Amino acid sequence: MSNVAFINSCPLVLCGPLLRRVDANSVTVWFALKAAANITVRVFSGEDANGQGTGLVQEGSRQTVQLGTYLHIVAVTTSGTALASGTTYRYSVAIDSTGFPAGASLFDAGVVSESTAGARALLLYSSPGAPQLPTFVTPPADPATLRVLHGSCRKPHGESIDMLPTADALIGAALRDGAPRPHQLLLTGDQIYADDVADPMLALIQNVADALEMPVETLPDRMGRWIDIRRLAIGHREELLEEEASFTAGEVAKSHLLTFSEFAVMYLLVWSNVLWRDGVPEFPRVHPSDYAALGDDYEKIRRGEWTWSNLLRPRAVGRLTGFLAERRATVAFKDRLREVRRAMAHVPCLMLFDDHEITDDWYLSKRWCENALLPYSSSRPEPGGSLLGRRIIQNGLLAYTLFQGWGNTPAQFAPTGAAGQNGRELLAHASAWNGTEDTHSAEIARLLGLPTEIAAGTPLHVPGQLTYHYAVTWPGYQLLMVDTRTRRVFSGGPDEPPALLNDDGSLAEMLTSQPDPGPDAVTLIVSPAPIIGVPLIEQSVQPLMGSFGKGSRESVDYEAWGLNAPAFQKLLGHLFTPSSSTGSPRRRVVSLGGDVHYGYAARVRYSATAPFQRTGGASEGVVAQLTSSALKNEDWKTRIFHGMGYVAGVDQLPEEEHAVGWANPTGKRLLVGEREVPTDNGDRIVPWAVKGSPGMSHLGPERTLSLLPEWQYTVSFIHHTEDDPTLPPRPPSSAVRPIQDFDPADDREVVLGRYLAAAANHRDYLGPWGSGKEIVGLNNLGEVSFTWQAGDAKKVIQTLWWRLEGMNDAAPLTHYIIDLALGPSLYAGQPVAAPSVPASSELQSPTRKTS
């Protein structure tokens, strides 16, 4: 199909409507169109029998921003009467664009589909009595009925099926049965994989970018010379990226996104089915040289037959077999996009980047940033930097900001006023940029906050940048999305793990300056990297691999919270201490994370008399760590976790950890108690001391404190719970995914039993320690709900939706229930004894206690 025919075959709206930020004062809806338009969004409290909105509550209009001849985007934000909690609203869309009637609706022919019926099928749910406009429900004032979906890591050619369409089924079932529906969908990182792109996907992206007539971009090498276009070929980019950009994604970067147009089109393809209409490219067109070399063997290899080319042309054969696998997975991904598009029109979608939106290991270490992110310079002690790396990062971050960030923080892009000044400037420069190193490019880099240097471990930015963290607050519920990428501090050596958040200014902006929602409210914090990680990975695998140096650190994402003790302890202190002497500290925090490609849950109970590097006095709190990952990126490693659980060969959870800490500002040896050391002649009592700042250790039955900890916490991991008599019964559609072959109105246990009976490997799941009962290593979507009674009787529940082999759809197979009750302080009844061993006893023989 020619580019002209392709564009003419597309409806006006290429992607969207995507329902983005919804707060009490505004609703934001994002669109991508093939022509310029002015779009008006109106929010209503109801609708009439003809599907027309009634009871106008808010409205807003905005002109699109042009990124290509046939690509225009906009995020429209409404204003008006404040939205009420726990209320269903509708919204309509009116589009003024050349060639369409004034105020054309989403359901007019040619806007979303060729026909009104087609548009309704794409955007609306068909159950009896379902609304005839897109709808959403605001978060309730009572957390007991709050439902939040979350997930991360969605790679189109990742293994197994995409879990994001499960959100569509949950919304549809709730509308059909009148059950509570999801109030928010939180996408917590890696919404695209820029660094790991299938060859057929990149070919499709380039075809679409050409059809949209995006600007043709010229790319510099490390030092600014223009790159030979032959080095940009599909499937052959990994060496260029390692040599000229200092990227560390490795072999998977063979089709890494490079230009802004490639990043932009990737977003259009993962959220909408419109631009896939020309099909997924085949091998002969993408790799013509390999196709010609294989000759008649091409069809035989496609059928799985052995040929002489397997011996004579192994690279071409390997490229073909890999391509075929990537293409099959990509086609399967495309086939579920209608469901994704409809879901994202009916639930507020809030997003945050991790690294793969840009490139693997983005901001991994000081050395990584100096080599790949900063401009090339020969004047540094170690000459480095890369203009190519910086340009690719700028392109990725610009695409993130326009396609994700604008909808997260629309106030930064407001059409008038000082608050929207930086965003408006970015939109203007992005629209005017022609793909070269010009003043528009320089201003884009400044507004995005690309650092110009790293001083004392801190990336330095030109003033006036946009920010990527944000908060959304409703009565009874507070959501804090924290930026753990661009605000990192590199406090150690050039290759040491970063502090994901450390400076007081960033912590204040993201955590302590946010108003406390009150003792009966819940705070959700999204950190893409889980605050509490799996012990085997963070305490064994990552430190071991990190000790092997370059290459090994990148392979295990050597950047977890727990790898940088000062930053981790400081974060815990800031979660529960008030922002001022009159402030009220948070008591219960639910931390949502992704990144790791498996799901699990953990609980932290925290007590402090003097939190680390934090004023504000004593604090008490509970953190529930809920991790859901990946939406579509499981592999053999995560499947091992799925069956193995936390401890290989043993059906048990990790032992509860009880950590104790002291600020110990000098970092010198600090005596804190005594400990017993077993010997052949009985136990010996020796000094128990800590070093460093903070000074950290663990309590145990063989240890006795003589110095009260300044803070302490316990960490416990949670097992799947079959039943909890304290929980109220959940409506059937809320508890069971509407499986195609079964009636979701049936009893939950009956439906689940049928599901298990139909699955090929249900025996692995059954039993108290079956696969997925500790760690879910298959593609999954998280659903968060609560029981929220008076006083301390509060719990959070994470349900992970995943599928068993032989099934095409997900089911609620894993339930983690975390008690948010504070209970007594960890200091309660904690004995502190006078030491029997003096502080100088390091040089003395320890006291012996006979056995």
Q: What is the pLDDT of residue 557?
A: 59
Task: Report which residue type is found at 512.
Answer: T
First-to-last CA distance in the chain?
Answer: 85
Q: Is 609 left (phi over 0), alpha (psi -120 to 50) or beta?
A: alpha
Torsion, CA 652, CA 653, CA 656, CA 657, rounded to 10: 120
Interatomic CA distance for residues 636 and 409, integer angstroms: 37
Q: What are 604's strand-pairing partners? A: 623, 715
* Helix, strand or coil, per DSSP, at residue 776: strand
Q: What is the pLDDT of residue 553?
A: 45
Interatomic CA distance for residues 568 and 697, integer angstroms: 14
Work out the number of other CB atoms within 10 angstroms of the CB of residue 26: 18
Interatomic CA distance for residues 130 and 176, integer angstroms: 7
Interatomic CA distance for residues 663 and 720, integer angstroms: 36
Task: Report which residue type is found at 685.
Answer: I
Residues of the chain with pLDDT under 50: 542, 552-554, 556, 581-582, 728-745, 839-851
Q: What is the pLDDT of residue 739?
A: 42
Could you report the per-residue pLDDT of 670-696, keeping only the tens digit for each? 999 999 998 888 788 999 999 999 999
Six-digit token pair at 496?
């040491």
This prediction has a pTM of 0.94
Could you report the per-residue pLDDT of 620-676, keeping only the tens digit for each? 999 999 999 999 999 999 999 999 999 888 889 999 999 999 999 999 999 999 999
- Would you kindly state where each structural domain of the chain is located, as residue ranges? 3-138, 664-707+827-849, 732-811
Interatomic CA distance for residues 562 and 550, integer angstroms: 20
Q: What is the pLDDT of residue 738?
A: 40
- How far are the Cα atoms of 525, 647, 653 from residue 537, in angstroms, in the given order? 22, 11, 14
Interatomic CA distance for residues 1 and 10, integer angstroms: 12
Interatomic CA distance for residues 221 and 232, integer angstroms: 12
The fold of 3-138 is Immunoglobulin-like (2.60.40)
Q: What are 703's strand-pairing partners? A: 675
User: Which sign does the torsion angle of CA 541, 542, 546, 547 carry?
Assistant: negative
Peptide bond into 17 cis (omega under 30): yes
Q: Do residues 177 and 733 lie in contact, with contact meaning Cβ atoms separated by under 8 Å?
A: yes
Q: What is the pLDDT of residue 835?
A: 57
Interatomic CA distance for residues 328 and 336, integer angstroms: 13
